[in-house]
C-alpha cells in the first residue's frame, strides 16, 4: 500500500513537471475577412463574388414627375426619356399622383462590369449600342405601363450600328452578372437610328421604343467574321469562382463577356468568342476584406489559356479603372 | 645590373616575411574574448560551486569523524551482542537467583523484601534486564579487570547497597558459586563495579560514561536536562546521514517596484500576465550535527510558470499562397504556372505565451528536529539559498505593450533579466513519518524569497518573486541501524 502511494505520488509529480503547454498564436479574421478560396458549384449571395458585385454597383439617377402630362427627361448629352400622359397604372388604376423615375444609361464598357450586366445572350456575345435602366414607382409602389403605351428613349452614340435590336434584361434590379442574360424583346419594342445634322458635329443615336421597365439594351450579336473559340483563364489558387469574376472586354467592340468558373478544372472560360480579337482579360476579386484587380491584354485565339495575376487593390481603384475602359 | 642585385636582396630578405592580419581582425578577436568571459557570472559560478563543495565536504567530514569517534561504540555493540547471547541463559540464571532469594529469605526478613523487589522485574524492561545480565557477567569481569572504582554513584545506582551482598555467578556452568553478605560496599560490590568500569572504558565521551552510570528507566526519553550527546538504551549518540529527494507544487507571488512613470505599464503587465504556479524538485544530503541539529545541502531546481495573453485588434495578416499548376492547352502546348500571392486579412490576434523561469539553487539549511521518529517527527529549517543559474523562456510586454522575448543580455529594457539572482532566504517546517528502518516520507511547507529581482538593476521596473510550496519527498538513511534521536 505504501509503495503504491509512493509510486502514485511520483507519477503525479512527473506528470506535473512535464505537462507543459505550448505557446499559441491565433488570428481570428474579422467578420467577412475569412479566406474563402474554395471553388463552389453553387454561388449564393453569401459568396464574396456577389458581395463584390453589389459593392461595385453604382447608383441611379432619380427624378419626380407628374403623370398627367407628357413628360420628357433630358440631359445635356442628348439623352431623353419621353413618358406619354396617362401611361402609368398603380394596382390597375391610372396614377394621378407624382411618380418617381430612376434611370441610368450605360455606354461605357466598364459600367457593364460595374452594374453586372455583361452583353451576353445565351452565352453568345452581343455588341451593345447602350443599355438603359428605368424604374418607375409611386409612393414606393411599383408602377406599370398601360397597354399600348411606350416609353421613348433617345440617346446619342458616335458609332452607330445597323441591325440593332431591343433586349430585355432578365432582372428588374441589378444582381450578379454570373447568370445575367439578355433576352430579345418580342413585344413590339423596337430601336431606330436618328441623326441630327443641324449642329456641328452632327448628333446621331438610337431611338428605342420599349414596353417594359428595367434593363433595356440595344444589341446585336457580335460578328467579326472570325471563327468562334473558347477562351480560358487561370488565376492563382487564392482565387476561385466564389470570390472572383473574370471578364473579357473587347477593345474594338462595346462588348463585355463574363467567363464562368469551372469547378473541375479550376479555370474560367467563355465560349463563342471571336478569335483574333484584341481583348483585355479583367479579374476582380474580393477575398476576405481585400480587393484584387487583375488585367491582362490578349489576342483571342484557339486553345487560349491566359494566366492573370491579380494585384492587391481597393474598391475605389477598381471602380476608377473600370471607368477607363 | 645594380638594381637587379638590390631587388634580389630585398626579395631575399622579405621572402619569408608575414604581413600579419589586419588590425581590425585583432580588434574583433579582442571583442569576442570580452564577450566570452560572461562577466561576473563567469566567476560567480565557480565561487558558488566552491561553496557547494565546501558544504558537502563538511558533511562528509562530520560523517567520517562521527564514524571514527564511535569506534568504541562498535565494541560496545559487540558486548551487547555478547550480553544478548548470554541472555539466553537468563532464565536459567533467574532460576538460580530465585534459589538465592529463597536462601536469603531464610536469613533475614529485610533481605527477603528487597530481593523480592528485584525479582519482580518486568520481562519487557530491557534496562532492568541488563542489570541482571551484568550480574551474570560478574565472574568473567572479575577475571579480566583489577581496577577498583570508587564511585558513590554506585550506591545511587544499585538499590541493593542497603543490603549489600556479594554474588558470583558462574555463567559458563550457569550455576551459583557462592553468595556472601558484607556491610562494606567496596568489598561487597567488586563484580558490579567492574562491569560498570567496563562500560565506562568503552565510552570515550565523558557524558556517555556519566549517563551510563545512571539508573536506566523504561521508555527513557531524553529530557531537557539530558545532554544531547547522551546515548539512549539502544545505542550511542545519533549519527545519521540522509539523502532526501522531493518535489513541490509552488505558488508564487510577484511584486513590482517602479517609478510612478511606469504605473500604467505595470498595470498592463498585471492585466495581461497571470500566474500559472510552478514547481520545485531537488535532492539534498542531511547530516546531523548533534542529536537535534542537522545541516542540509543539495541542489534545487524550481520553475515559475506564467502566462502572457496579448490581444491585438485590427491587426493585418499576410498569408502567402503558392500556386504551381500545369495546364495543357493542346498536345505539345503546356502552360506551367508558378506563382506566389499574398493575401491580407484584418482581424484579431490572440497570442498566448507560457513563460517559464527556471532557477538552479544551492540551499544550505540548518534544521532542528524534534518529536518521536517512530511516530511523527518534526523539523524547523532555515538557511540561505544561493542561486547558481537562472534561465528564462518566454515573453513579456515592453513599454510599448508589445510582447518581447526575455533575454539575459545587458540593457535597461524590461526584458533584460539576470543570469543570476544571487542569495535568498528559505524557511520551512517539516513533518516526517517513518516507513521502515531506513525510509521516511516527509511533507515540508516552505517559503523562499530572493533579495535580488529577476530583472537587471537598470530596468524600468524591478520584478521579484516570493515562492511558497509544499515539498513532498522521501528521506533515506544511509547509516542504518544507528542510534536515532528519540
Same domain, B185 and B290: no
The pLDDT score that the predictor gives to residue A14 is 66
Q: Return the number of CB contacts < 8 Å for A and B.
A: 106
Same domain, B149 and B297: no
CB-CB under 8 Å, A310 with B341? yes
A94 in B contact zone (CB under 8 Å): no
Residue with the bigger pLDDT between A39 and B42: it is: A39
User: Which of A10, A13, A307 is opposite residue B337, by nearest beta carbon?
Assistant: A307
pLDDT score of B164 more than 50: no
Window from A23-37, A279-293, B27-41 with minimum mean pLDDT: B27-41
Query: A310 contacts in B (CB within 8 Å)?
Result: 341
Same domain, B194 and B304: no
Query: A22 contacts in B (CB within 8 Å)?
Result: 354
Q: State the sign of the Cα–Cα–Cα–Cα dihedral B209, B211, B213, B218.
A: negative
pLDDT class for B190, splitting at 50, 70, 90? very low
Mean pLDDT of B112-123: 40
How near does any CA of chain A get to the CA of B339, in Å?
7
Residue at B29 is within a domain? no
Same domain, B287 and B416: yes
User: Which of A234, A289, A310 is opposite residue B327, by nearest beta carbon?
Assistant: A234
Residue with the bigger pLDDT between B257 and B64: it is: B257
Domain that holds residue B136: 72-212
pLDDT, tens digit, for every residue of B445-465? 999 999 999 988 888 888 999
Query: B348 contacts in A (CB within 8 Å)?
Result: 27-28, 30
Mean pLDDT, all residues of chain B:
69
Domain final residue pick, B178, B212, B246: B212
Residue at B381 is within a domain? yes
B76 in A contact zone (CB under 8 Å): no
* Domain layout of chain A by residue ranges: 48-54+225-323, 58-221
B326 in A contact zone (CB under 8 Å): no
B339 in A contact zone (CB under 8 Å): yes
Same domain, B163 and B129: yes
CA B449 to chain centre: 19
pLDDT score of A78 more than 50: yes
How near does any CA of chain B get to the CA of A205, in Å?
43
pLDDT, tens digit, for every residue of B289-340? 888 899 999 999 999 999 999 999 988 888 888 999 888 888 888 889 899 9
pLDDT score of A228 more than 90: yes
Chain A residue with CA closest to B280: the answer is: A17
Domain final residue pick, B152, B178, B212: B212
The pLDDT score that the predictor gives to residue B183 is 45
pLDDT score of B212 more than 60: no
Spatial CA neighbour of B285 closest among B445, B132, B61, B44:
B61
The pLDDT score that the predictor gives to residue B68 is 56
Same domain, B148 and B184: yes
A311 in B contact zone (CB under 8 Å): no
Residue at B37 is within a domain? no
B343 in A contact zone (CB under 8 Å): yes
Domain final residue pick, B146, B177, B212: B212
pLDDT class for B63, splitting at 50, 70, 90? low
CB-CB under 8 Å, A9 with B346? no
| CATH number for the domain formed by residue range(s) A58-221 | 2.60.220
User: Which of A16, A30, A307 is opposite residue B279, by nearest beta carbon?
Assistant: A16
Cell digits for A249?
472586354
pLDDT, tens digit, for every residue of A136-180? 888 888 888 888 788 899 999 888 888 899 999 876 444 445 678
pLDDT score of B10 more than 90: no
Give ipTM to 2 decimals. Answer: 0.72
Residue at B52 is within a domain? no
Mean pLDDT of B402-416: 85
Task: Return the residue in B250, B323, B338, B440 with the most chain A beta carbons within 10 A, the one to mutate for interface testing.
Answer: B323
Residue with the bigger pLDDT between A321 and A12: it is: A321
CB-CB under 8 Å, A236 with B341? yes
Query: A234 contacts in B (CB within 8 Å)?
Result: 325, 327, 335, 337
Into how many domains does chain B fold? 2
Residue with the bigger pLDDT between B19 and B393: it is: B393
Same domain, B148 and B287: no
The pLDDT score that the predictor gives to residue A48 is 86
Window from A87-91, B58-62, B171-175, B263-267 with minimum mean pLDDT: B171-175
Query: B356 contacts in A (CB within 8 Å)?
Result: 20
Same domain, B154 and B274: no
User: Which of A28, A232, A236 is opposite residue B321, by nearest beta carbon?
Assistant: A236
Query: B352 contacts in A (CB within 8 Å)?
Result: 23-25
Same domain, B280 and B415: yes
CB-CB under 8 Å, B247 with A303? no
Residue with the bigger pLDDT between B336 and B183: it is: B336
Same domain, B160 and B268: no
The pLDDT score that the predictor gives to residue B416 is 87
User: Which of A17, A35, A303 is opposite residue B279, by nearest beta carbon?
Assistant: A17
Same domain, B287 and B371: yes
Residue at B92 is within a domain? yes
Residue at B402 is within a domain? yes
The pLDDT score that the predictor gives to residue A54 is 86
Chain B residue with CA closest to A22: the answer is: B354
CATH of A48-54+225-323, one of 2.30.29, 2.60.40, 3.40.30, 3.40.50: 2.60.40
> Tell me, what CATH number does B441's domain have?
2.40.160.20
Residue at B317 is within a domain? no
A37 in B contact zone (CB under 8 Å): yes
The pLDDT score that the predictor gives to residue B81 is 46
Mean pLDDT of B202-207: 46
The pLDDT score that the predictor gives to residue B413 is 81
The pLDDT score that the predictor gives to residue A307 is 92
pLDDT score of B128 more than 50: no
Residue % of chain B over a pLDDT of 90: 27
The pLDDT score that the predictor gives to residue A31 is 83
User: Which of B339, B345, B350 is opposite residue A33, by nearest beta carbon?
Assistant: B345
Are the C-beta atoms of A205 and A160 separated by less than 8 Å?
A: yes
pLDDT, tens digit, for every residue of B413-425? 888 899 899 999 9
A3 in B contact zone (CB under 8 Å): no
pLDDT class for A131, splitting at 50, 70, 90? very high
CB-CB under 8 Å, B354 with A21? yes
Amino acid at each position: 500500500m505504501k509503495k503504491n502511494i509512493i509510486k502514485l505520488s511520483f507519477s503525479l509529480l512527473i506528470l506535473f513537471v512535464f505537462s507543459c503547454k505550448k505557446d499559441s498564436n491565433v488570428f481570428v479574421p474579422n467578420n467577412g475577412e475569412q479566406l474563402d478560396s474554395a471553388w463552389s458549384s453553387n454561388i449564393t449571395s453569401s459568396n464574396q463574388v456577389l458581395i463584390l458585385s453589389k459593392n461595385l454597383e453604382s447608383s441611379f439617377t432619380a427624378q419626380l414627375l407628374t403623370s398627367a402630362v407628357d413628360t420628357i427627361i433630358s440631359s445635356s448629352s442628348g439623352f431623353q426619356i419621353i413618358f406619354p400622359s396617362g401611361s402609368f397604372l398603380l394596382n390597375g388604376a391610372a396614377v394621378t399622383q407624382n411618380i418617381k423615375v430612376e434611370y441610368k444609361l450605360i455606354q461605357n464598357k466598364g459600367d457593364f462590369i460595374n452594374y453586372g450586366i455583361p452583353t451576353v445572350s445565351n452565352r453568345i456575345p452581343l455588341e451593345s449600342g447602350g443599355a438603359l435602366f428605368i424604374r418607375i414607382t409611386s409612393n414606393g409602389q411599383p408602377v406599370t405601363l398601360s397597354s399600348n403605351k411606350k416609353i421613348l428613349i433617345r440617346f446619342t452614340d458616335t458609332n452607330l450600328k445597323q441591325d440593332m435590336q431591343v433586349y430585355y434584361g432578365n432582372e428588374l434590379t441589378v444582381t450578379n452578372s454570373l447568370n445575367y442574360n439578355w433576352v430579345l424583346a418580342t413585344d413590339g419594342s423596337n430601336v431606330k437610328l436618328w441623326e441630327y445634322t443641324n449642329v456641328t458635329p452632327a448628333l446621331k443615336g438610337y431611338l428605342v421604343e420599349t414596353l417594359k421597365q428595367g434593363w433595356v439594351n440595344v444589341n446585336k450579336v457580335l460578328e467579326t467574321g472570325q471563327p468562334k473559340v473558347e477562351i480560358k483563364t487561370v488565376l492563382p489558387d487564392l482565387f476561385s469562382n466564389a470570390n472572383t469574376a473574370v471578364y473579357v472586354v473587347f477593345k474594338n467592340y462595346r462588348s463585355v463577356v463574363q467567363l464562368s468558373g469551372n469547378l473541375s478544372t479550376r479555370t474560367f472560360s467563355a465560349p463563342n468568342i471571336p478569335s483574333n480579337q484584341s481583348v483585355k482579360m479583367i479579374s476582380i476579386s474580393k477575398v476576405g476584406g481585400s480587393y484584387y484587380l487583375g488585367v491582362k491584354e490578349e489576342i483571342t485565339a484557339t486553345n487560349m489559356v491566359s494566366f492573370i495575376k491579380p494585384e492587391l487593390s481597393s474598391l475605389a481603384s477598381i471602380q476608377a479603372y473600370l471607368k477607363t475602359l | 645590373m645594380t638594381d637587379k642585385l638590390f631587388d634580389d636582396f630585398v626579395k631575399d630578405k622579405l621572402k619569408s616575411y608575414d604581413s600579419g592580419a589586419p588590425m581590425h581582425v585583432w580588434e574583433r578577436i579582442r571583442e569576442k574574448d570580452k564577450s566570452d568571459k560572461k562577466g561576473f557570472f563567469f566567476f560567480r559560478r565557480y565561487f558558488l560551486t566552491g561553496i557547494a563543495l565546501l558544504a558537502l565536504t563538511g558533511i562528509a567530514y562530520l560523517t567520517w569523524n562521527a564514524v571514527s569517534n564511535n569506534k568504541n561504540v562498535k565494541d560496545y555493540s559487540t558486548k551487547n551482542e555478547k550480553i544478548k547471547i548470554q541472555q539466553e541463559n537468563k532464565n536459567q540464571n533467574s532460576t538460580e537467583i530465585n534459589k538465592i532469594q529463597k536462601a536469603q529469605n531464610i536469613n533475614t526478613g529485610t533481605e527477603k523484601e528487597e530481593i523480592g523487589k528485584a525479582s519482580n522485574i518486568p520481562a519487557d524492561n530491557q534496562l532492568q534486564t541488563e542489570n541482571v545480565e551484568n550480574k551474570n557477567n560478574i565472574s568473567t569481569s572479575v577475571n579480566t579487570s583489577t581496577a577498583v572504582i570508587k564511585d558513590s554513584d554506585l550506591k545511587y545506582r544499585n538499590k541493593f547497597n542497603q543490603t549489600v551482598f556479594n554474588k558470583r555467578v558462574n555463567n559458563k556452568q550457569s550455576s551459583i558459586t557462592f553468595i556472601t553478605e558484607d556491610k562494606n560496599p567496596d568489598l561487597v560490590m567488586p563484580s558490579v563495579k567492574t562491569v560498570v568500569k567496563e562500560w565506562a572504558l568503552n565510552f570515550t565521551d565523558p557524558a556517555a560514561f556519566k549517563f551510563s552510570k545512571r539508573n536506566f528507566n523504561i521508555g527513557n526519553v531524553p529530557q531537557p536536562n539530558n545532554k544531547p550527546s547522551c546515548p539512549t538504551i539502544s545505542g550511542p549518540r545519533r549519527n545519521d546521514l540522509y539523502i532526501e529527494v522531493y518535489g513541490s507544487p509552488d505558488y508564487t507571488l510577484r511584486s513590482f517596484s517602479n517609478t510612478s512613470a511606469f504605473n500604467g505599464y505595470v498595470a498592463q503587465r498585471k492585466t495581461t500576465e497571470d500566474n500559472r504556479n510552478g514547481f520545485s524538485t531537488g535532492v539534498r544530503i542531511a547530516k546531523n550535527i548533534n542529536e537535534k541539529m542537522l545541516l542540509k545541502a543539495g541542489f534545487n531546481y524550481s520553475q515559475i510558470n506564467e502566462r502572457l495573453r496579448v490581444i491585438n485588434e485590427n491587426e493585418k495578416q499576410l498569408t502567402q499562397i503558392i500556386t504551381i499548376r500545369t495546364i495543357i492547352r493542346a498536345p505539345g502546348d503546356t502552360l506551367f504556372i508558378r506563382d506566389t500571392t499574398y493575401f491580407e486579412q484584418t482581424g484579431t490576434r490572440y497570442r498566448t505565451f507560457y513563460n517559464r523561469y527556471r532557477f538552479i539553487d544551492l540551499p544550505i539549511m540548518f534544521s532542528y528536529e524534534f518529536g518521536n521518529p517512530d511516530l511523527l517527527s518534526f523539523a524547523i529549517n532555515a538557511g540561505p539559498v544561493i542561486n547558481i543559474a537562472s534561465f528564462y523562456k518566454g515573453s513579456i510586454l515592453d513599454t510599448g505593450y508589445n510582447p518581447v522575448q526575455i533575454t539575459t543580455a545587458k540593457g535597461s529594457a524590461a526584458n533584460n533579466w539576470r543570469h543570476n539572482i544571487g542569495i535568498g532566504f528559505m524557511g520551512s517546517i517539516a513533518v516526517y513519518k517513518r516507513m521502515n528502518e531506513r525510509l521516511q516520507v516527509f511533507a515540508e511547507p516552505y517559503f523562499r524569497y530572493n533579495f535580488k529581482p529577476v530583472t537587471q538593476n537598470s530596468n524600468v521596473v524591478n520584478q521579484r518573486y516570493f515562492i511558497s510550496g509544499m515539498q513532498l519527498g522521501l528521506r533515506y538513511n544511509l547509516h542504518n541501524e544507528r542510534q536515532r534521536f528519540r
